[in-house]
Chains A and B, each alone.
Chain A
């Protein structure tokens, strides 16, 4: 194994007691991507499952790819359609790639730099969680966002939402959504309105890049067919428009067991039921917006499949996952209907439930503790 020997030689100065030992996590992060290490079990079970965090996170990335690639295509498609230029499939893909790949590079670059720095500083290995976050961030941003804003949002999310709480596994809020929320609240004039959702919309006159929820909130009608909304040929954040390709990702997550189907189903049930009730009420355009369409438009599908299921920021108990999922669905529709300033509810709904997830778990676990206490008391008082 020649390559292996070479790497071992290169890693020598980073070994225990060597000059650059402190930087070992940074080097290991690259090495373990090439090779699964030769570590063997030294206590506990002598055999271990084939799964590890890399495998899990890469599976999530695979699940994200269909939506991502469609998002790249749709970016170009929206641009060419709205500006009335003739185009081919490859033109659209190329246009999208030129817009989006720099965002991906910035997101990974800034985020991983911070992650590596903290791994070296804290002396632990680099966790793979950011591989997913780093791809999610550009996927949920508006396409015309400047790169520096992406970088700043990522830095805020990783530093404040993740590392400040102790790093991977400790964060309360989903980091990718935090980045999105930061951009939204820090640059509201930029992030709302109808100019950022289509590529070049702010530079080219005549492009109206309104999102469906945006136009509904403004009291206008929807000008897209159900089919377009389902496939995703509509303006919106880069990769959340296509319910179809999000569902493909959901299938991958559920089939592999990596994503929680309980949260997904719970979310859909919660949102559908709430939207259905509002349909019956029907006091404004968003209330009477068909409940099925509510599930299809905006970021709901993407959020519930890829963001709400983040195992760290979601509820962790089985029962808690149901409650959490259902509440995300309910709050998403509530925010959409009652908050005209921000018609997309799923981001805030998930962040809100992220905050409450530990409380949900607390009560579920407390139920278990109470059952045990009750059993103890029953055994102390002999049956008469």
Chain B
């Protein structure tokens, strides 16, 4: 089928360790964790105290700024530990599951009879609200605004990221129902699918379907928004991940919060990369054990994809949003004369300074080495090469560094999220931290513009 949007810029990083399309039910430990940092900008206010019993779907904390946004327990059992950092900031909330999954039941009327406000309050009470994020700023959506549209990206292009259609395999009904729910909240719902998509996603009702052709970051919802209906100053759009759409749909048909997740465990050091059925906040160690991590190396475990995910550790847990768990070898090793161009075809480079470009089919076992040190910005054009938007990435980054708000607005800060700059991080010859710069700039905008 033809594409509505064709993106020519971007980069497909040929990384080893893509997941086989098999799903295994994962064993799990009885410890589950929520990380408030997954919800950027949310200052958590605890409702449940340490040691108190909780049910699945019971609110355990809320957002200080928007008290109606509640965050619920992924299991029934006890809230066993609140782990705090400096200034008593809450880093993690641990639950001990009793294995019974006794869940909070909500009475939800038929969807047709619900007004938009009723739908909204149901989602808020259910614990599903954090699934809805907003642009600008890439934060949990402000429930007091009405977005001009809701966007769902129906495909992932990040390296090794979980396959959306496969993850949604037997949740088609829930997904469709979730779409109907979201349609109540915004005048329009957009669903982007890959140009060659043949899955059920292409025939979902109640959405405007866009066929997008291109390599990463074509699957990033921010890139799609930019080409479909860009965010202007003062406007808001909401975005929801496809599996979360299904979770919202399931809540409206069952009345209970469903924390289940299908997670792809992937990466060059994973023996059998494949999918596992588990739930939000589950410990990662059983997943890694089941998939098998090649031992004898120090590894980096990442909640999310290798470009925009968050590092965790062997004792850590899955994040709230991710259905990809990536594992890489740590690259804390020296390479003698490693900077010599045209030597060592095992170095993958977007520029043709490595002979890797002569082997287009080869996959690489990349690790976390920086491959160089931070330098002044010298090379131009490489950011544009991986940035398929009508935005000047380097100019925007520079204005972000000096926090020139007017220029940031003019250059499109409202249209970007850190993940859109993930490939800029990757490609930068000067090894700049573009995602961190954008995140910081967005926080400045929240403070100054709101």
Q: Is B truly associated with A?
A: yes
Which residues in A have some Cβ–Cβ distance to B below 8 Å? 1, 3-4, 28, 32-41, 43-56, 58-59, 62, 125, 127-129, 167-170, 255-258, 260, 311-312, 314, 316-318, 321, 361, 365, 368-369, 371-373, 375-376, 379
Query: Do B434 and A44 touch across chains, with their CB atoms under 8 A apart?
Result: yes
Quote the shortest CB–CB distance from A39 to chain B (angstroms): 4
CA A85 – CA B261 in complex, angstroms? 84
Query: Do B390 and A168 touch across chains, with their CB atoms under 8 A apart?
Result: no
Query: Do B332 and A38 touch across chains, with their CB atoms under 8 A apart?
Result: yes
**Which residues of chain A have C-beta atoms less than 8 A from B377's C-beta?**
169
CA A169 – CA B433 in complex, angstroms? 17
Query: Do A50 and B348 touch across chains, with their CB atoms under 8 A apart?
Result: yes
Residue B12 lies at the interface, judged by CB distance under 8 Å to chain A: no
> If the complex has contacts A56-B351, A169-B377, are A43 and B392 also in contact, measured as CB distance less than 8 A?
no
CA A39 – CA B372 in complex, angstroms? 8
Quote the shortest CB–CB distance from A352 to chain B (angstroms): 20
Which among B122-130, B240-248, B300-308 touches the partner chain? B300-308
Quote the shortest CB–CB distance from A208 to chain B (angstroms): 42
**Would you give the 0/1 interface string for B361-375, flagging 1 where the beta carbon is closer than 8 Å to chain A?**
000001111111111
Contact of A44 among B350, B356, B410, B436 (CB under 8 A): B436
Residue B411 lies at the interface, judged by CB distance under 8 Å to chain A: yes
Quote the shortest CB–CB distance from A134 to chain B (angstroms): 15
- Please name the 6 residue pairs, one residue from A and one from B, whose CB atoms are nearest each other, closest first: A52-B372, A169-B376, A36-B338, A50-B347, A45-B425, A369-B410
Query: Do A257 and B429 touch across chains, with their CB atoms under 8 A apart?
Result: no
- Most chain B C-beta atoms within 10 Å of own C-beta, residue among A3, A49, A62: A49
**Which residues of chain B have C-beta atoms less than 8 A from A258's C-beta?**
351, 353, 379
Please tell me the size bucket of the interface on B.
35 or more
> If the complex has contacts A52-B372, A318-B384, are A255 and B352 also in contact, measured as CB distance less than 8 A?
yes
Query: Do A59 and B353 touch across chains, with their CB atoms under 8 A apart?
Result: yes
**Would you give the 0/1 interface string for B416-450, flagging 1 where the beta carbon is closer than 8 Å to chain A?**
00000011011111110111100000000000000
New A-B contacts (17) at CB < 8 Å, excluding given A43-B436, A54-B339, A128-B375: A4-B334, A33-B337, A35-B335, A36-B339, A39-B369, A44-B422, A46-B302, A46-B309, A46-B311, A49-B428, A49-B429, A51-B349, A169-B377, A170-B376, A260-B381, A316-B394, A365-B395
> If the complex has contacts A35-B334, A372-B410, are A55 and B353 also in contact, measured as CB distance less than 8 A?
yes
Contact of B369 among A33, A48, A59, A372 (CB under 8 A): A48
> If the complex has contacts A4-B334, A47-B367, A256-B351, are A58 and B433 also in contact, measured as CB distance less than 8 A?
no
If over half of B's interface residues share one DSSP class (helix, strand or loop), that class is named, otherwise mixed; here it is loop
Query: Do A37 and B381 touch across chains, with their CB atoms under 8 A apart?
Result: no
CB closest residue in chain A, given B159: A47
Quote the shortest CB–CB distance from A8 to chain B (angstroms): 10
Quote the shortest CB–CB distance from A102 to chain B (angstroms): 27
**Which residues of chain A have C-beta atoms less than 8 A from B427's C-beta?**
49, 51
> If the complex has contacts A37-B370, A47-B368, A256-B351, are A169 and B339 also in contact, measured as CB distance less than 8 A?
no
27 contacts between A and B (CB under 8 A): A35-B336, A35-B337, A38-B369, A40-B300, A40-B367, A41-B369, A43-B435, A45-B435, A46-B328, A47-B159, A49-B348, A49-B349, A49-B428, A49-B429, A50-B354, A50-B356, A50-B371, A51-B354, A125-B373, A168-B378, A169-B376, A256-B351, A257-B351, A257-B352, A316-B394, A375-B232, A376-B234
Interface members, chain B 305-350 (any A CB < 8 Å): 306-309, 311, 326, 328, 330-341, 347-350
Residue B53 lies at the interface, judged by CB distance under 8 Å to chain A: no
CB closest residue in chain A, given B350: A49
**Which residues of chain B have C-beta atoms less than 8 A from A56's C-beta?**
351, 353, 378-379, 429
**Which residues of chain A have C-beta atoms less than 8 A from B255's C-beta?**
none
Quote the shortest CB–CB distance from A148 to chain B (angstroms): 30
CA A35 – CA B372 in complex, angstroms? 10
Query: Do B350 and A51 touch across chains, with their CB atoms under 8 A apart?
Result: yes
**Which residues of chain A have C-beta atoms less than 8 A from B394's C-beta?**
316
CA A44 – CA B380 in complex, angstroms? 20
> If the complex has contacts A4-B334, A36-B334, A38-B333, are A50 and B349 also in contact, measured as CB distance less than 8 A?
yes
Query: Do B353 and A40 touch across chains, with their CB atoms under 8 A apart?
Result: no
**Which residues of chain B have C-beta atoms less than 8 A from A1's C-beta?**
334
Residue B164 lies at the interface, judged by CB distance under 8 Å to chain A: no
Query: Do A368 and B392 touch across chains, with their CB atoms under 8 A apart?
Result: yes
**Which residues of chain B have C-beta atoms less than 8 A from A34's C-beta?**
336-337
**Which residues of chain B have C-beta atoms less than 8 A from A62's C-beta?**
341
Residue B104 lies at the interface, judged by CB distance under 8 Å to chain A: no
Query: Do A58 and B410 touch across chains, with their CB atoms under 8 A apart?
Result: no
**Which residues of chain B have C-beta atoms less than 8 A from A256's C-beta?**
341, 351-353
CB closest residue in chain B, given A35: B334
Query: Do B339 and A49 touch across chains, with their CB atoms under 8 A apart?
Result: no
Residue B391 lies at the interface, judged by CB distance under 8 Å to chain A: yes
**Which residues of chain A have C-beta atoms less than 8 A from B373's C-beta?**
28, 32, 37, 39, 52, 125
Residue B266 lies at the interface, judged by CB distance under 8 Å to chain A: no
CB closest residue in chain B, given A166: B376
**Which residues of chain A have C-beta atoms less than 8 A from B356's C-beta?**
50
Quote the shortest CB–CB distance from B348 to chain A (angstroms): 6
Quote the shortest CB–CB distance from A187 to chain B (angstroms): 31
**Which residues of chain A have C-beta atoms less than 8 A from B42's C-beta?**
none
Residue B10 lies at the interface, judged by CB distance under 8 Å to chain A: no
**Which residues of chain A have C-beta atoms less than 8 A from B425's C-beta?**
44-45, 48
> If the complex has contacts A36-B372, A38-B333, A46-B328, are A55 and B341 also in contact, measured as CB distance less than 8 A?
yes
CA A162 – CA B351 in complex, angstroms? 26
CA A34 – CA B337 in complex, angstroms? 5
Query: Do A127 and B349 touch across chains, with their CB atoms under 8 A apart?
Result: no
Query: Do A376 and B436 touch across chains, with their CB atoms under 8 A apart?
Result: no
Query: Do B307 and A45 touch across chains, with their CB atoms under 8 A apart?
Result: yes
CA A361 – CA B13 in complex, angstroms? 30
Query: Do A46 and B300 touch across chains, with their CB atoms under 8 A apart?
Result: yes
Quote the shortest CB–CB distance from B375 to chain A (angstroms): 4
CB closest residue in chain A, given B328: A46
CB closest residue in chain A, given B334: A35
Quote the shortest CB–CB distance from B262 to chain A (angstroms): 22
**Which residues of chain B have C-beta atoms less than 8 A from A257's C-beta?**
350-353
Contact of A168 among B337, B376, B395 (CB under 8 A): B376
CB closest residue in chain A, given B13: A47
